[in-house]
Structure 1
Amino acid sequence: MRIFLMLLCVFCLAVSCKPIQGKTDEESSKIAFREELNEVKTIKLVAGTFQKELVSNGKLRAFCKSDLYFLLSNVVKKLNVSNGDFVQKGEVLAVLDDFEQKNSLEESKQVLAKAELELADVLIGQGYNGQDTLEIPKEVLRISKLNSGFSSANLEYKNAQHDMMGTCLIAPFDGVVANLDGRIYDKTDISKPFCTLIDHKNFEVEFSVMESELRELRKGQRVKIFPFAFEKEYFGNITQINPVIEDNGLVKITARVNNKGGDLLEGMNVRVLIQNNLPNQLVVPKSAVLLRQNKEVVFTYKEGTAIWHYVSTGKENSSSYTIIEGLQAGDEVIVDGNLNLAHEAKVRVLVD
């Protein structure tokens, strides 16, 4: 019984390996390939709007940025901020030891008060009311101020006020503190900035485009900005187009972007995308275009078969091509399941 079963298996194997009668192995495989039903997805080709894309890399810089200096070299008595702190316009960031400045201001104030009395005496001696200077001729008043010492005393007082104000570092606008290296009790160096203040609400992005792309840009044009550091989309507008072609054939462009959310930082690297709409274009997804023997090929669907077309593509963006020749509006283009298709292969359209 066991021997009979073994012989039966050998016979079945031999029959299964026997070629189809009258056909070679190669012909049999072709028949099997032609009979295989490929599942595809299609779209109806219509004339529409194509979004031409111009892509460049750029770097962010604050629209308003200022290095803040102390006007006096002295010891830091008080430090109110640290790097990354948001401050408002007029806020005191740091204070120097002001002992000498306070004394100088008080001394100059006393000298000025004495000079005012001298001025009044001089004017009274000339027959004028020393308290009402509006009725005194300007030239008479000027000479009287010089003779009484009032002019020099007033100048010294203003200088002392300025020095006193210089002991405080005040924010000139709303912003974020950066590059703060000084510490309390350090002595300031008037030749170096004490810190930097950055208006982080708005940034400018500088990027370059080719000379040939310049005609597609205009001031006020909308741009999209994508930071390399994280996935988020920002919108801005072109504010400057530098009217100079550099030696490398590039043109510098500047756009302004709002830092919505506060995630953008000074010096951040970004990708800039500019889109222009081209009307009345035949547009297909990139997945529809194949490369066969170094030629571009698109398959269309017709009555259950895939039809091979040589095509010429035109404009390109991140997802699509425009078709210049080889197809026409109304064609049903295969956009998925086309990688292994042959001309007149049997296909079935999948319906979403």
Structure 2
Amino acid sequence: MKRLFLISTCFLFCLACKKQEVVVEQIDQATLRKEAQPTEVRVATAEYRPFEFLVSATGTIESENELEIIFEGSGYLEELGIENGQKVKKGQVIGRLQNEKEKFALEKATVAFDKSYLNFRNDSISRGSNITKDVINTFELNSGLKDARINLREAQISLENTIIRAPSDGIIVDLATKKGSLISAGKKLCDIYDGQNLTLTAKILETDFGYIKPGLVADVFPLARRDQSFVAKVDEINPRVDEFGMVQIELKLNQTEGLLPGMNANAIVRVPQAKHIIVPREAVVIKQGKSVIFTVVNGTAQWKYVEIGLDNGTDVEVLDGLQDGDQVVLTNNIQLAHDAKVSIASQDVSTSKQ
């Protein structure tokens, strides 16, 4: 009887154990994907076209034709007809020194010349028609005409040096003196620059030197005109690396309205490369240590390993892994999975926009 009781107890214990078993239902991943809401993404179209490598440069805007105007004579500045920022024409009188002494000296030199010329003419008439170059030279020396001519020219130059004229068309800057000032010869009056011919003297990294050549187009962004860009071309390259590892280049600006010498500016030089598939930089993500781009095919994201070339900060070259016309995902692609459902948020973006 005792043995029968033990068997019954074991049987009931086994039944109790069976009732406590937990059934785990297997999750169908494919079913989950079908039921999940599509991830909203923005896309761009991959394009087969020349890639533009962008070289950054920083520098200062300068005038190609900037001149320093100095006084040739000395004395009090009697007249001053200019101010900073004024536009002047070549030959325009912009200042005048007190010149009574110079005028008097010119008058004396003119009288002396006239007297010498009269003596020369009388000597020539007395000689008659038979007169040679040697004889003329002798008469000029004897009459004092040669000396008088030199003295007259010297007096004319002295008077002319009291009158300051603009050496070229341009704009007055750095006016350094005032009317009534006592001036010495060689003192600076002002500078004048040509506002129509401006260049950006800039520096690039020596590692970018091999990409730059004359004629390349650049976009210039003056710090004082943040809302506006200007077009320029590489005009000159100084083939020397300075102590900071920089190379100087000259960019000739096509537009100059609103620009001033001395303005600081940044520039982006566009360097065309060979044709490749081009996509926006944000299309590339790193998965498992490799470059990946997701494309959209029939409403699903397709994971593609790609080989990346040059990167200009905006676009990248894709050397292998994509085709011309592929739609590439730009947003929400960090956590995106292969075959995930996606919906396009807006019209696709062209990679040709820089």
Please give the range of the TM-score, normalised by the shorter of the 2 chains. 0.7 to 0.9
Q: Is the counterpart of residue 289 in structure 1 residue 276 in structure 2? A: no
Please, what TM-score do these two structures have when normalized by structure 2? 0.81
Q: Contact 1:200–1:259 (CA<8 Å) still a contact in 2?
A: no
Q: State the match for 2:340 in structure 1.
A: 345
2:318 equivalent to 1:317: no
Equivalence for 1:242: 238
Distance 1:349 1:258 in 2: 41
2:121 aligns with 120
Q: Which moved more, 1:174-183 or 1:314-323?
A: 314-323
- On the 8 A contact 1:239/1:255 being kept in 2, the answer is yes
Write out per-residue CA displacement over residues 230-265 of structure 1, whole angstroms, 9 at most, x where no aligned residue. 13222233332334454555433223224442x111
Pairing 1:190–2:185 present: yes
Measured in 1, the distance between the counterparts of 2:321 and 2:146 equals 90
Alignment partner, residue 252 of structure 1? 248
User: Matches of 1:250 and 1:67 in 2, distance apart?
Assistant: 29
CA distance in 2, matches of 1:145, 1:23: 128
Q: What is the Cα deviation at residue 175 of structure 1?
A: 0.2
Quick one: which amino acid aligns to residue 154 of structure 1?
A: R
- Other-structure match for 1:50: 51
Partner of 1:77: 78
Provide Cα deviations, 1:69-105, integer angstroms capped at 9, x if missing partner: 1111111111101000000111111111111111111
Q: Is the 8 A contact 1:238 1:254 kept in 2?
A: yes
1:294 CA drift (Å): 5.5
Deviation at 1:118, TM superposition (A): 1.6
Q: In the alignment, what sits opposite 1:233?
A: 229
| Separation (CA, whole Å) in 1 of partners of 2:25 and 2:74 | 101
Query: What is the match of residue 102 of structure 2?
Result: 101
Matched letter for residue 320 of structure 2: E
Q: Closer, same or farther in 2 for the Cα pair 1:44/1:199, shift >3 Å?
A: closer
- Once the two structures are TM-superposed, the CA of residue 191 in structure 1 deviates from its matched residue by 3.1
Opposite residue 183 of structure 2, the aligned amino acid is T
SS of the residue 2:159 aligns to = helix
- CA positional deviation for 1:301: 2.1
Alignment partners' CA distance in 1, 2:261 and 2:208: 27
TM-score, length of structure 1 as denominator length: 0.81
Does the Cα contact within 8 Å between 1:45 and 1:331 map onto a contact in 2? yes
Question: C-alpha distance in 2, partners of 1:41/1:244?
Answer: 46
- What secondary structure, in the 3-state scheme, does the structure 1 residue paired with 2:184 have? coil
> Does the 8 Å contact 2:216/2:271 carry over to 1?
no
The CA distance in 1 between the partners of 2:315 and 2:34, in whole Å, is: 31
Find the aligned partners of 1:112 and 1:92 in 2 and give their Cα distance.
Answer: 28
Counterparts of 2:66 and 2:116, CA distance in 1: 43
Name the amino acid aligned to 1:84.
G
- 199-208 vs 211-220, greater mean Cα deviation: 211-220
Give the deviation of 1:59 after TM superposition.
1.7
Identity %, equivalent residues: 27
User: Could you tell me how far 1:298 is from its partner in structure 2?
Assistant: 1.9
Structure with max Cα Rg:
2
Write the distance in 1 (CA, Å) between the matches of 2:266 and 2:328. Answer: 33
CA distance in 1, matches of 2:183, 2:286: 67
2-side partners of 1:203 and 1:184: how far apart?
31
* CA 1:294–1:82: 2 relative to 1, 3 Å: farther
Letter in 1 for 2:237: I
The CA deviation at 1:341 is 2.2
- Cα distance change, pair 34–106 in 1 and its aligned pair in 2 (3 A): farther
Shift of 1:32: 9.7
Amino acid at match of 1:313: I
Alignment partner for residue 162 of structure 1, among 147, 157, 161?
157
* Distance in 2 between residues matched to 1:259 and 1:119, nearest whole Å: 61
Q: Is the 8 A contact 2:33 2:341 kept in 1?
A: no
After TM superposition, give the deviation of residue 148 of structure 1 in Å: 1.0
Give the whole-Å Cα distance in 2 for the aligned partners of 1:329 and 1:32. Answer: 29
Q: Which moved more, 1:284-293 or 1:106-115?
A: 284-293
One-letter amino acid of the counterpart of residue 218, structure 1: K
> Cα deviations across residues 275-299 of structure 1 (Å, max 9, x unaligned)?
1333431111122122456543322
Question: How far apart in 2 are the matches of 1:142 and 1:219?
Answer: 57
Q: Distance in 2 between matches of 1:259 and 1:86?
A: 18
Q: For 2:332 and 2:255, how far apart are their aligned partners in 1? A: 43
2:90 counterpart SS class: coil
Distance 1:48 1:316 in 2: 15
The answer to whether the 8 Å contact 1:201/1:258 transfers is: no
Change (3 A) 1:164 1:315: same
SS in 1 for 2:183: coil
Q: Structure 2 residue aligned with 1:299, among 291, 294, 298?
A: 294
Which residue in 2 is equivalent to 1:139? 134
